[in-house]
Amino acid sequence: MKVLFVGSEASPFSKTGGLADVLGALPKELVALGIDARVVLPKHGVTKEKFNDQLELVCKYRVTVADKEEYCGIETMELDGVIYYFIDNEYYFGYRDTLYGHYDDGERYGFFCNAVMQMFEHLDYYPDIIQANDWPTGLIPYIFNTKYKHLEKYSHMKTIFTIHNIAYQGVFSKLLIKYLDVEYGNELEFNNHINFLKCGINTANYVTTVSETYSKEILHHYFAYGMSDILECRKDQLYGIINGIDYENFNPKVDKHINFNYGPHNYLKGKSENKAVLRDFFDLKDNNLPIISMVTRLTEAKGFDLVKDLIGDYLRKGKMQFILLGSGDDEIEEYYNYLKNKYPGKVGVYIGYSDELARKIYAGSDMFLMPSRFEPCGLAQLISLKYATLPIVRKTGGLKDTIVPFNQFTKEGTGFAFENFDSADLAQTIDTALEVYKDKPTWKLLLKRAMKEDFSWQQSAKKYIQLYEKLKEE
């Protein structure tokens, strides 16, 4: 079976978030299971900087954009058994310093979608499944249905549209239509604008999300960002498959970025050694307090309102130390810098992102905080489990699907969880975690159990294969 993943980013070529991790890991696992899985991406500036010497030009052609015929080159390379294609256009992608946030994002990714659909004939490659990911690829199923589906070479092909985060939809003025080389219709229109995400939901054969709970949540207005009615119409073709994690990449036994490697046999020493390094990096006091950390985008959706309501009280009473790595909302950044200055030796803050430092935080922390308003899947909690750092999460999306809440009577669980998006509920859950931390036999039991959890991509890849086979049978 031939499956082509279409996306705007994939590790290690380009990355802003979890989508890149998925497209960097899932195709590799599918190849290991016998699927001919390939990936097509824009050739971003960051890709050109890192991989230009390894890319081979295989063909070039022109793509219509309004009254222009824009250059498109297809370059390719193979990595870990996966063939990657890159859509090369210097103006739209090559010289840009970021992947998104430009005034012409609609035109750029409209060009990308059309370039991908023209690619098949030039490569003489016709996949069985096209799996488009998030709003930048939302036009793919629509273009396929209106221009290619009736052609003999394309008649066997099916489309899947995967929602990684429904909050990002690709909404643009209707004036963009002349740049997209498609006809304007109900599939595209939403609230008198063009909506790429809605287009993908409406026109793909199947729609998937990155966790089972999230696929149910987005049928409700609170989570759906306006898409609930549209998704309700597609609920019989809507599936949730939890993301996996690449244990070759995220594994404290072999992680080169942490100072002391460890596994289930020596995790206590490993946690202690890495905790000391982490405290030294952030100038935290050397004491017996647990370290609670967050590595995340600094947005309201990540639950920072709840944390702000209670974090000062915990720090003032000397109940814990706190570390934050991330960037985003200016007000959130300013508040945590203020917190660091108000409680020296108790708070560590790094505004920005560093993969190496993130791994040191996973390895050196005791608990990992994710009080998200919504969380389609989440990878941080899966990484935390492997690094024996117990997650504190809200029961939403993938967090609910992956973390078993601690039960004080049976001692079952792999972390701590609360139901309502409420600071009092969060405080109660943190209090429970801090009490269990003092109970060393129970704490050790939870750490051992957490490290044994298996959220490898193999499990998720098998579920995708079942879905592909079901779609092909239809």
CATH code assigned at 94:
3.40.50.2000
Report residue 419 as tokens.
């139901």
Q: How many angstroms separate the first and last alpha carbons of the chain?
A: 15
Residues 6+ apart with CB under 8 A from 32: 81, 458, 461
What pLDDT score does 16 carry? 87
Residue 370 inside a domain? The answer is yes
What pLDDT score does 237 carry? 97
Average pLDDT over every residue of 410-436:
97
Residues 229 and 280 grouped into a single domain:
no
Question: For residues 5 and 208, is the Cβ–Cβ distance under 8 A?
Answer: no
Report residue 397 as tokens.
């999306």
Residues 326 and 426 grouped into a single domain:
yes
Q: State how far Cα 428 lies from the chain centre.
A: 28
Asked whether the whole model's pTM tops 0.85, one would answer yes
Residues 444 and 393 grouped into a single domain:
yes
Residues 6+ apart with CB under 8 A from 448: 264, 267
Residues 336 and 353 grouped into a single domain:
yes
What pLDDT score does 339 carry? 97
Q: Percent of the chain beyond pLDDT 90?
A: 97
Question: For residues 391 and 426, is the Cβ–Cβ distance under 8 A?
Answer: no
The domain of 11 spans: 2-244+458-473
Residue 262 inside a domain? The answer is no
> pLDDT tens, 200-237?
999 999 999 999 999 999 999 999 999 999 999 999 99
CA-nearest of 371, 368, 378 to 214 is 378
Residues 154 and 29 grouped into a single domain:
yes
Q: Which residues of 106-140 are buried (b: 16+ CB within 10 A; e: fewer)?
A: bbbbbbbbbbbbbbbeeeeebbbbbbbbbbbbbbb
pLDDT at 407 over 90: yes
Rounded distance, CA 39 to CA 86, Å? 9
Report residue 402 as tokens.
């992956």
Residues 57 and 134 grouped into a single domain:
yes
Residue 296 inside a domain? The answer is yes
* Pairing mode of beta strands 171-172, 193-195: antiparallel
Residues 217 and 286 grouped into a single domain:
no
Residues 164 and 208 grouped into a single domain:
yes
Ramachandran quadrant class, 108 (left: phi over 0; alpha: psi -120 to 50; beta: rest): alpha
DSSP state letter for 65: E
What pLDDT score does 446 carry? 98
pLDDT at 353 over 90: no
Q: Is the peptide bond before 405 cis (omega within 30 degrees of 0)?
A: no
Average pLDDT, the chain: 96
Total domains in the fold of the chain? 2
Average pLDDT over every residue of 349-375:
96
pLDDT at 182 over 90: yes
Ramachandran quadrant class, 135 (left: phi over 0; alpha: psi -120 to 50; beta: rest): alpha
Question: For residues 289 and 334, is the Cβ–Cβ distance under 8 A?
Answer: no
pLDDT at 457 over 90: yes
Alpha helices in 211-294 (DSSP H): 212-217, 221-224, 228-233, 267-282
CA atoms within 13 A on the CB side of 158: 18
Which pLDDT band, with edges at 50, 70 and 90, does 17 fall under? confident
Residues 6+ apart with CB under 8 A from 331: none
Burial class of residue 36, CB neighbours in 10 A (0-12, 13-18, 19+)? middle
Rounded distance, CA 290 to CA 282, Å? 14
Q: Which residues pair with 326 in a beta bridge?
A: 351
Residues 33 and 48 grouped into a single domain:
yes
Residue 162 inside a domain? The answer is yes
Residue 260 inside a domain? The answer is no
Residue type, 389: T
Rounded distance, CA 470 to CA 474, Å? 7
Residue 159 inside a domain? The answer is yes
What pLDDT score does 53 carry? 96
CA-nearest of 40, 37, 46 to 12 is 46
Rounded distance, CA 180 to CA 65, Å? 6
Q: Which residues pair with 77 in a beta bridge?
A: 84
Residues 235 and 306 grouped into a single domain:
no
Report residue 471 as tokens.
């779609």
Residues 78 and 100 grouped into a single domain:
yes
No. of H helices and E strands in the chain? Answer: 17, 18
Residue 143 inside a domain? The answer is yes
Residues 196 and 309 grouped into a single domain:
no
Neighbours of 445 (CB within 10 A): 15
Residue 109 inside a domain? The answer is yes
Radius of gyration of the chain (CA): 23
pLDDT at 295 over 90: yes
CA-nearest of 37, 79, 32 to 56 is 79
